Amino acid sequence: MNTRDCNDEVKKIVDQILDNRRNDARLTLEYCDKLLKYARKNSNVVAYGLGYYFRSEIYYWLNDSEKFFNDSSKALTYLIEMNKNKLIAKSYNRMGIFTANGGNAPIAMDYYLNGLKYCDSIKLNEIKSIIEMNVGTLYFSVGKIEEAKKMINKALIFFENKEDYNDTVMLCIYSNLIKIYIKQEEFERARETIRLAVNNFWDGSENIDRISFLTIEAIYYHKIKDYKSRNACVKIITENLPNHMGIIDCFEDIDDYCNMLLETDLDDDLWAVINVVEPILKNVRMIYFQMRLMSIKIKYYRIHQKNAEFLKATGLYYEYSELMDEENNIMARYMLTIRMSLENEEKRRLQMELKNQLLQKKSEIDQLTQMPNRYGLVEYAKKAIKRARMYQKAIAIEILDVDFFKEYNDNYGHQQGDECLRLISKIIKEFVGKKNGFFARYGGDEFIIIYENVTLEQAILNERLLHEAIGRANIKHEYSKCDKKVTVSQGICCGIPSADNKLQDYLEIADKALYKVKEAGKNDYEGGILGEKVSI
């Protein structure tokens, strides 16, 4: 895991969590609590997010549904704020698995699909493919075989091109494909996939995954009536059944296998599985799986006419069904809680974004004239010059300066001076807006205007027409040395930018043109082009 966003204290605790999370649940939980204590003391978002995430991971492995979902919902709100998409996707994937194991396919699918939404980077293709494989498994469990095949194949395409993934992952993918082929009675494809998986991925896979694969292989031989090969698989399974929690990960395959055994006379092998799996399920309180295992026992008792055992088993099945209803309600409450937490977080995020946008807009807008300010000008000019360079079209940038504005301010007062600038800015907005140009207040009594895709002649014509429009406003200025009304001086630069040209290059030429106007007595306009000055 990348810990570059962590400060030294958080990184130190996270490293301890990473060192212990796979072999010491108790110690890892202590470090998670330490991280959350630090988060509360320092209001540290990263510590909150990682503390709840890793603690939920441990509760997932311990099969503690209440604590797992509680911490997952808390982790997600912080992880979203941290933009930790990989951890978000992993959290949703675990919630999907947990819910699917609880028999609630619709809620599980909702979690999986939410996880996929966060896999928007090529760096997250691994977790994306894992979720797709789980979605495929879920589709298969509800009888949507073609959809299952599509999702499993998508995962296969990713993992088969990655040499650094272990055989366990590949064996799992091929196991799911074999189940699909058996379901569709494509037995030749199933046989070929079994051969391919055994030859390429058997040696490096874990024992529990081999057991899972053997249950599917036994079902395949049963379907094609190769009972000798089936019985050979059954013998290996019976002799190698693990009596630990890993058996839960392949319960779907165990369930299918037991239902197949009910069609045979291999009763001892059936009960060998039941006697291993049943206490594990009771110990971790997996009601849905306990119901399904009880269903197998009920079928067995009915087949063998064991009436007393049958009645007892059906009574227990009813009790499980009531507990299952309660579990489903709990699952629904968890999902609603998570949804509400995320909705509230999304609202908070949107409000923050809106606030930032308003602040950004405020920072780009001149409060007096409501024009873009210097910052807004720079941002627009970068894009405009880039467009002009890309399409080899000329761009014109004009500097407009109010003549004798200091004298106007000194004699009419600053409030009247502000009103004068507002009137001029209004004229500029109306005129330049009609020309699809851009305008900004550069500072004081200076304004900048940008016209895109214009010739030099068009740019100078716009300059003249704007000059005349301001003159027609007849804003009184008895203290001007060139007229009895407010006038302006303008300098403009036009040209197609080269690779090195920037806003400053245009402003320098426009400023020289403006300087020439001022030297000649103001109340006029002048133009120039990149590399060559043009007099009017």
| Residues facing residue 401 across a β-bridge | 446, 489
**List of the chain residues with pLDDT < 50:** 534-536
Q: How far apart are CA 28 and CA 57, in angstroms?
A: 10
Given this model, what pLDDT does residue 534 score?
A: 45
| Residues facing residue 492 across a β-bridge | 398, 527
Given this model, what pLDDT does residue 297 score?
A: 95
Dihedral, 297, 298, 300, 301 alpha carbons, nearest 10: 110
Q: How far apart are CA 201 and CA 173, in angstroms?
A: 11
Given this model, what pLDDT does residue 232 score?
A: 97
235: enclosing H helix or E strand: helix 227-240
DSSP secondary structure letters along 381-417: HHHHHHHHHHHT--EEEEEEEETTHHHHHHHH-HHHH
Given this model, what pLDDT does residue 282 score?
A: 83
Given this model, what pLDDT does residue 418 score?
A: 95
- DSSP class of 492: E
Distance of CA 79 to the CA centre of its chain: 11
Structure tokens at 355: 């606030």
Nearest to 273 by CA among 247, 307, 309, 306: 247
Domain 374-534 has CATH 3.30.70.270: yes
The SS3 call for residue 402 is strand
Query: What is the domain partition of the chain in residue ranges?
Result: 1-83, 374-534
Q: How far apart are CA 275 and CA 243, in angstroms?
A: 9
Q: What is the pLDDT of residues 58-101, one digit of tens each?
A: 998 887 888 898 899 889 988 988 889 999 999 999 999 988 88
Nearest to 523 by CA among 476, 474, 468, 447: 468
Given this model, what pLDDT does residue 104 score?
A: 85
